[in-house]
Amino acid sequence: MSPNRRPSTATGNLLYAQSGGVTAVINATAAGVIEAARGKGVKVYAARNGILGALREELIDTSKETAAAVAALRHTPGGAFGSCRYKLKSLEDNRAEYERLIEVFRAHDIRWFLYNGGNDSADTALKISQLGKAMNYDIRCIGVPKTVDNDLAVTDCCPGFGSVAKYTAISTLEASLDVASMAETSTKVFILEVMGRHAGWIAAAAGLAGEGADAPPHIILFPENPFDETAFLSKVKATVERVGWCTVVASEGVRNAAGQFLAEAGTRDAFGHAQLGGVAPVLAALVKEKLGYKYHWALPDYLQRSARHAASKVDAEQAYAVGKAAVGYALAGMNAVMPVIVRTSDAPYRWKIEPAPLAKIANREKKMPKHFITRDGFGITAAARRYLSPLIHGEAPPPYGKDGLPRYVQLKNAAVAKKLAGFQR
């Protein structure tokens, strides 16, 4: 028997929580979790605002939601139960938090915990999965993948990425048509800044907008490659002189040769990551100062990860599938694993879900392979296209009302009565 599996004879409740930056399809995962658990007769509680809700005993009873409301989560963006950026310290460094979690689990007979997030969330899930043995409580923890950055190890891709990739490719294509129309007398250089602190997957997806030297984006800047100002400006100048205009897509995490973020703002987020102030205006200033070209830049920010109207059908289906699989793993007695996506074919695109140990995922980061980036460092290769293209396939539009707006669901989020005293972190 696998060390991550033990006979499941426990009955009780399942707790689900969302963590980190939300995506256009994280609620599809929530729907997969709730519907799969209901099918097995298991009650699902959701933690309000991620792991903080578990610590504060702020739980939501999803059994109060109708089947129609839960199904509508599949096309609703944002985080239906609230999310947070909060990383648990080790058991040795902050035992009080772990003792509090066990108290909450005991009080509400929680025997399965599913944590839906990215790298730091996988680390938290791994730590909680080790609680049972350390604190004499039967709890099984499953990490559930989610991140627009596509940087989780082991899994072929991350739910949430396919939709932001589709949005980025579409935005690059559409904005470039606009720039091309006005380039004769107006903007010569357009810069689109996208998310991706350490990994350039989202920036790479912009490359799907066109193919060939004259097709946008003409320049992609990846965090994996040190920024070379001279080479960048030379490429911009040559492109404008040849094509008449230039579209640049830059990852927020672009660094100089010394390893410093171009957009370093000097502050840190709750996970200790550098807060970035904007690489697009830095690049735009360079273009203006050194080349004299008129420019525009855009920062889609939350728009790129919340654009459910432009979601990838493949992404939405994968997001639901990992939620459903996570419940199956938990009820089968598995612990400290994550349902990951395994690609079995590029063309036609085929995939399946398999369990992978959290220990091989937590605190690891998957960056763009070198063979996905062109030799000059400014584009994507054919291999990258083969990987990326299937992930943006298909449309999964939300239903629209007579007012022309999407019909998104807002849950009741009925609170579970508290049984414990308050907790101070």
Instruction: Please name the residue ranges forming H helices in 219-301.
Output: 229-243, 279-286
Is 149 known to be catalytic?
Answer: yes
Q: Are 31 and 67 in contact (CB under 8 A)?
A: no
Q: Are 139 and 112 in contact (CB under 8 A)?
A: yes
| Distance separating alpha carbons of residues 21 and 117, to the nearest angstrom | 8
Selecting among 120, 123, 149, 151, the annotated active-site residue is 149
| Distance separating alpha carbons of residues 175 and 163, to the nearest angstrom | 18
Helix (H, G, I), strand (E, B) or coil at 290: helix
Report how many helices (DSSP H) and strands (DSSP E) the chain contains, helices first.
13, 13
DSSP assignment of 50-92 equals THHHHHHT-EEEGGGS-HHHHHHGGG--S-TT---------TT
The residue count for the chain: 425
Sheet holding 189-194, edge to edge: 219-221, 246-251, 189-194, 295-298
End-to-end Cα spacing for the chain: 38
User: Catalytic residues, which ones?
Assistant: 149
